[in-house]
Structure 1
Amino acid sequence: MNQKEVKYILTIAEEKSITKAAEKLQVSQPALSLFLLRLENSLDVKLFNRNNMGMQLTYQGECYLKMAQKTMKLYRDFQAEICDINSNYVGRLKIGTSAHIGSYVLPEVFPYYQKSFPNMEISIIEGSSEKLESLLSHCDVDIALIHLPLKHDVADYEIISKEKYVVAFSQNHPLEKYMYYKNGEKFPYINPEHLADEKFILSFPYQRVRQVSDQILNKANITRPDILLTTSSVQTALRFAEMGMGVTFLPESYLKLFRCSESPNLCYMEPEYEAYWQFALAYPKKTTLTGPTKAFIEITKDIYVG
């Protein structure tokens, strides 16, 4: 029994299809079918029933999966203990992150981390929040830089920071008359209810940035926004808003990643609209953290929390 074997069975169970599981695992369908056949023959049990509902775990299959997950957890815990004992540990830290979070967090954390763990190899896997949750559920990463809330209960986490969102729209936009200022704030404020008749440039529904945007709109009672464009790129959305094509939402920290030639209007929103997200470091549920993983969390907290 190894981690790959457990991952294959878990993915088949989740997808309820050999074909879909093979696509997700990036292996061929015949190879995955052969793997399952050989495993069932070696165990002399049937792990799945094939019916019109797809691939369904048998009772024996459920028992196998529970035992396999327990075994893999014991192995990870053993690795964690060995790692803590050995101060010169040589190993790999697998980090999951979205491209945006990683681009501004990791360069700040790594220099300090490598001083403490010079022999650790860092492996970075980039993907959407949906992919990161999948990686965490399969224990394919040690830690993930992610924004809350999680859609599924697949991980434990430590909250690092809470970050405001801003509304972006073009200069000389009619919405400017609704802007107001607060002492000491970097940007003015606007009530998002005034956006009801605007066109929106939003991310795709599976992206966390879109989920927060939808939350803001719902709080403003804008249940059917007029969406001009959907894009996976926050930078593209900001550029369209900057050029007067519509309105978009984005986290404030992303502004330092993009250059805006036209300097769009950027506005905060009042707390009742919950226009923020929380940045967290997540790790597979009920996992014993290794020394290097704990250190990564502590260094990140020192930098962002102080």
Structure 2
Amino acid sequence: MFFKNYEYFLAIVEEGGLSKAAKKLFISQPSLSKYLKRLEMNLGVELFDHNSSPLKLTYTGERYYNYLMQIIQLDKQLQKEFSEIQNNDRGKIRLGLALWRGSCLLPDILPSFTKKYPNIEVDIIEGKSNFLVSELLTEKLDFAIMNLPTNMDFSKLTYDTLMEEQILFVGNKNHPLVEQARSSQVNSRGYPFIDIAHLEDELFIITKPGQNLTSAILHHFSKRHLDPKNIFEIENLTTAINLVSSGMGFTFVPEGGVKEKQLPENLALFSLEDPNLIWPLAVVYKKHTYITNHSNLFIGMLKDYYQKNKQNHL
């Protein structure tokens, strides 16, 4: 069922017609038309609705397309496995990270990993969650470390949870309400509670739209019926933290993206006691993709790292 020149069929599907597909393949349209007739005759079915423009797959055409994609994926996996067997001491990991998380995570993980596995190259790609998802689906990334977007397509992606991460509120200890809130009872994770309704007129420094963190914060504002008038948007959380340290406003940070001991001494972390502000931090993969031994070594080190962090908070 896996006929020669299957890429011709895929080009017709992708381009929606013989003319565009022929140009893409650098062959003549009559030649491509003969190929399609011969393919349908050999299979004994019609793959396309030839009365539609652009061409649309019939149900049998969809089944054949899915079959081809599975075969192609299996072939890629087999090639990766062969390459891994032949070059067991060398490899490359293509890792996706949120724009700010690398600055917190990589200094703790990457030096140890490269020392232990000097012949494994780690290629880091940073970006917003929608960009990372796109790179995963096009197989430009082996895996990504990210919070799970609410709109993630789980028919195409899968994940392993590293930790249930709380979004924390960050304030300057010199602010009167921060100083007062620091004496409140701490939750099970060790953070005191603060009610940001009392800070509605203050400056909130948040990440720009398109980031999962931004969506979670705005949802919290809406749920609490808060309408902050002073919002300053930035791209990188490190910048936000430094601004708060200088006495400018308040910000929000994911728990796994900060270390209290590494924060400026004049900052304090608080819980907002909202279950919607606890989300999974996960290693995300494309479904049915072969994960190399090299990637599994890195992922194993990640899991150990977050397990230790969890124990430190208990």
Question: TM-score, normalised on structure 1?
Answer: 0.70
- 1:181 pairs, out of 184, 187, 208, with 184
Could you say which residue in structure 1 is the equivalent of 2:241? 238
Q: Tell me, yes or no, if the aligned pair for 1:155 and 1:283 is still in contact at 8 Å.
A: yes
How do residues 32-47 of structure 1 correspond to structure 2 at under 5 angstroms?
36=24, 38=26, 41=29, 43-44=32-33
Question: Which residue is 2:123 aligned to?
Answer: 123
Q: In the TM superposition, what is the alpha-carbon distance from 1:138 to its structure 2 partner?
A: 0.9
How far the C-alpha of 1:238 sits from its partner, in A, is 2.9
Aligned length: 279
Q: Unaligned stretches of 5+ in structure 2?
A: 37-47, 309-314
Measure, in 2, the Cα distance between the counterparts of 1:296 and 1:146. 15
Matched AA of 2:306: Y
Letter in 2 for 1:132: L
Alignment of 1:172-211 (within 5 A): 172-176=174-178, 177-178=180-181, 180-182=183-185, 187-211=191-215
Amino acid of the residue matched to residue 214 of structure 1? L
Q: Provide the C-alpha distance between the structure 1 equivalents of 2:181 and 2:95, rounded to a whole number of angstroms.
A: 43
Partner secondary structure for residue 95 of structure 1: strand
Q: Structure 1 residues 64 and 210 mapped into 2: Cα distance closer, same or farther (>3 Å)?
A: farther
Match of 1:81 in 2: 81
Q: 2:231 aligns with which of 212, 228, 232?
A: 228
CA distance in 1, matches of 2:263, 2:304: 31
The residue number in structure 2 matching 1:284 is 286
Shift of 1:304: 2.0
Task: Provide the aligned C-alpha RMSD in A.
Answer: 4.3
The 3 A distance-change label for structure 1 pair 233 and 35 is farther
1:23 alignment counterpart:
none
Tell me how far apart the structure 2 counterparts of residues 39 and 205 of structure 1 sit (CA, whole Å): 45
Whole-Å separation in 1 of the counterparts to 2:159 and 2:25: 37
Give runs of aligned pairs for residues 131-146 of structure 1, distance below 5 A: 131-146=131-146
Task: Report the secondary structure of 1:269's partner residue.
Answer: coil
Q: What does the per-residue CA deviation read over 1:214-235, in whole Å, with 9 as the maximum and x for residues that have no partner?
A: 233234233x443432221223
Mean CA deviation greater in 62-71 or 97-106:
62-71
| Alpha-carbon separation, structure 2, partners of 1:229 and 1:126 | 22
In 2: Cα distance, 1:303 partner to 1:258 partner? 16
Instruction: Mark the structure with the bigger radius of gyration.
Output: 2
SS of 1:305's equivalent?
helix
Question: Cα deviations across residues 21-53 of structure 1 (Å, max 9, x unaligned)?
Answer: xxxxxxxxxxx99974748957547x9xxxxxx
CA–CA distance in structure 2, aligned partners of residues 130 and 95 of structure 1: 15
Long gaps (5+) in structure 1: 14-31, 48-54
1:1-306 pair list within 5 angstroms: 36=24, 38=26, 41=29, 43-44=32-33, 58-59=56-57, 66=66, 69-82=69-82, 85-86=85-86, 88-114=88-114, 117-149=117-149, 151-153=151-153, 154-176=156-178, 177-178=180-181, 180-182=183-185, 187-222=191-226, 224-256=227-259, 263-270=266-273, 272-306=274-308
Letter in 2 for 1:232: E
Once the two structures are overlaid, the 10-residue window that deviates more, 245-254 or 84-93, is 84-93
Q: 1:251 corresponds to which letter in structure 2? A: P
Deviation string 1:146-191 (CA, Å, 9 cap, x unpaired) is: 1223532142111112233221234443533455433586543212
* Equivalent position SS for 2:272: coil
The TM-score normalised by the length of structure 2 is 0.69
Partner residue, 1:22: none
